[in-house]
Structure 1
Amino acid sequence: MDFILIIKALILGLVEGLTEFAPVSSTGHMIIVDDMWLQSEEFLGKYGANTFKVVIQLGSILAVVVTFKDRFIDLLGFGKVRSKLSAGRTSRLKLSQVIVGLIPAGVFGVLFEDYIDEYLFSTETVLIGLVIGAIFMIIADKFRPKSPKIESVDQITYKQALTVGLIQCFSLWPGFSRSGSTISGGVLIGMSHRAAADFTFIMAVPIMAGASFLSLIKNLEYMTMDALPFFIVGFISAFVFALISIRFFLRLINKIKLVPFAIYRIILALIIYLIYI
């Protein structure tokens, strides 16, 4: 077994896990770290570098499922998650609302998948996405309602779910960030940062899981016994670090908002541009 290869698999899993659900763009970080340093196409070529990335993304997805397990059980009709609305009524987030939020990006993703894969997966385009996404996050924090009308994800309406889903389409540009776009969109229409983050994470599971499993099925030829140690290490690494990242982020987001993440993105883009471009 190649120990160096195992370490690199561990690092890619770490990058995926720490950045997948923070508004900093996991795709952007993966492209930057991989293209500029690890070169997975070279060291994982025989095992399928793209398949490896799908596998570690599944680790991040599992971390969300674990964190929101009660919520997902309720969405599937097996639990009783409830929250009180200001009017004294009770409500809960519905599976149909999540689906409404997923439709726009799903449709655009299918229509423009080939174009995105061919023209937008480069360091240069990621830097553009990082900066534009950061500006959008700053705008969201500056112009959001001072008193959020939606404190809990259970108060989200179908119209709001659709609006967030439409804004999520921006995240199809690598570097823009799925969570960055949806959390920003959510706070702009009156959600608290925590409610927007919860909805973002819940929406991420079906769309990411569906895309990952389809990609995995297409690349089953790479799931060999030789490849398993690297896939397992990457999967576990992504799961553990995503679990830590999600719980830390959810405790933090209502306190620091989006601007610090936006500043980080701009600084990162500037450093990468000065060093590598």
Structure 2
Amino acid sequence: MDLAQLFVALLLGIIEGLTEFLPVSSTGHLIIFGDLLGYNDEASKVFKIVIQLAAILAVCWDYRERLVHVATGVASDPAAQRFVGLLIVGFLPAAVLGVMFHSKIKALLFNPLTVATALIVGGFVILWLEKRSYHPRINAVDEMRWPDALKVGFAQALAMIPGTSRSGATIMGGLVFGLSRKTAAEFSFFLAIPTMFAATAYDLYKARDMLHASDLPVFAVGFVASFVAAMWAVKTFIRFVSNHTFIVFAWYRIVFGIIVLATWKLGLVAWSEV
């Protein structure tokens, strides 16, 4: 295990942690930077699953008091039962559509050029949505009803297309459906827990034959880097969205996507096309 591999693991772990809960697509960033760094073999697929797990565990830790309260009260507390029900309803669209289309999407669309295109399109969608005037009717997750959760869940399902951004789809969808910015961001984080745990378990099961003890140091470095970066990103993002729009993220997506496509078109980088 050389230092170069550990450095790549550290870098990708930080990228995953910073981008998982921002509306910029963590999967898209991992595909692009993994391709750029030449880390796109079979082992890298398992590595990306591991660091995504670290990011979601960071959210669980950050919201541990709420989650423990729900877990201990779900048998008797109506509020806890209602919260769990909202997560189940919001999770269902991605679960059903993921089982139906996950393999095909992964085979056809998981490449830097598709990601770059989705980043640009998504950036313009965010700019268009931010021009609208919003009058939120829901200012806390506990005020949501099951139709609200279902609609956000369908928005989340759009993120099966790499480069779309799970958090971006759920947050912007939440705004359209009447959630305040902070509520949309928080529900996006909570909804990520069952969604990403299910996706991680499914991917790890499929990749079980590619797990090797020799990869543990690389996985450990990436896991820790992702966990720490995600902890910082979640706290910072919640503060940011309370008082700012997502326009800065929209322009970041557009510029980043254009750079990837331009380097491909000019022959500066030999991006993978499949």
- Same-fold call, TM cutoff 0.5: yes
- Structure 2: 5+ residue stretches without partners: 266-274
Q: Distance in 1 between matches of 2:251 and 2:262?
A: 17
Q: Is the 8 A contact 2:113 2:260 kept in 1?
A: no
Q: Does structure 1 residue 224 correspond to structure 2 residue 219?
A: no
Q: Distance in 2 between matches of 1:12 and 1:144?
A: 37
Whichever residue aligns with residue 89 of structure 2, its letter is V
The range that moved more, 243-252 or 64-73, is 64-73
How many Å apart are 1:169 and its aligned residue? 1.7
Distance change in 2, residues 1:91/1:220 (3 Å): closer
Q: Distance in 2 between matches of 1:180 and 1:174?
A: 12
Among residues 162, 165, 169, which one is paired with 2:150 in the alignment?
162
Whichever residue aligns with residue 273 of structure 1, its letter is L
- After superposition, give the CA deviation of every residue in 1:30-87 in whole Å (9 maximum; x if it has no partner): 111111x211135xx5xx21111111111101111011112222332448xx9xxxxx
Partner of 1:251 in structure 2?
A: 239
Whichever residue aligns with residue 131 of structure 2, its letter is K
Whichever residue aligns with residue 75 of structure 1, its letter is V
**TM-score normalised by L of structure 2:** 0.90
Q: Distance in 2 between matches of 1:70 and 1:30?
A: 31
- After superposition, give the CA deviation of every residue in 1:121-165 in whole Å (9 maximum; x if it has no partner): 1112112211221222223322242x3211111111111111111
- Structure 1: 5+ residue stretches without partners: 83-89
Q: Is the 8 A contact 1:137 1:181 kept in 2?
A: no
Aligned length: 262
Distance change in 2, residues 1:268/1:148 (3 Å): same
Q: Does structure 1 residue 141 correspond to structure 2 residue 140?
A: no
Partner of 1:3 in structure 2?
A: 3
Q: Distance in 1 between matches of 2:249 and 2:69?
A: 31
Q: Distance in 2 between matches of 1:75 and 1:141?
A: 34
Distance change in 2, residues 1:129/1:12 (3 Å): same
Q: Distance in 2 between matches of 1:77 and 1:141?
A: 39
Partner of 1:215 in structure 2?
A: 203
Whichever residue aligns with residue 30 of structure 1, its letter is L
Q: Distance in 1 between matches of 2:225 and 2:7?
A: 10
Whichever residue aligns with residue 164 of structure 1, its letter is V
Root mean square deviation, CA, Å: 1.9
How many Å apart are 1:21 and its aligned residue? 0.6
Q: Is the 8 A contact 1:120 1:174 kept in 2?
A: yes
Aligned pairs for 1:51-200 within 5 A: 51-78=46-73, 94-145=83-134, 147-200=135-188
Whichever residue aligns with residue 113 of structure 2, its letter is E
Partner of 1:87 in structure 2?
A: none
Q: Distance in 1 between matches of 2:128 and 2:176?
A: 9
How many Å apart are 1:178 and its aligned residue? 0.5
**TM-score normalised by L of structure 1:** 0.89
The range that moved more, 129-138 or 158-167, is 129-138
Partner of 2:19 in structure 1?
A: 19
Q: Does structure 1 residue 234 correspond to structure 2 residue 235?
A: no
Whichever residue aligns with residue 257 of structure 2, its letter is A
Partner of 1:39 in structure 2?
A: 38
How many Å apart are 1:25 and its aligned residue? 0.5
How many Å apart are 1:201 and its aligned residue? 0.6
Identity over aligned residues, as a percent?
38
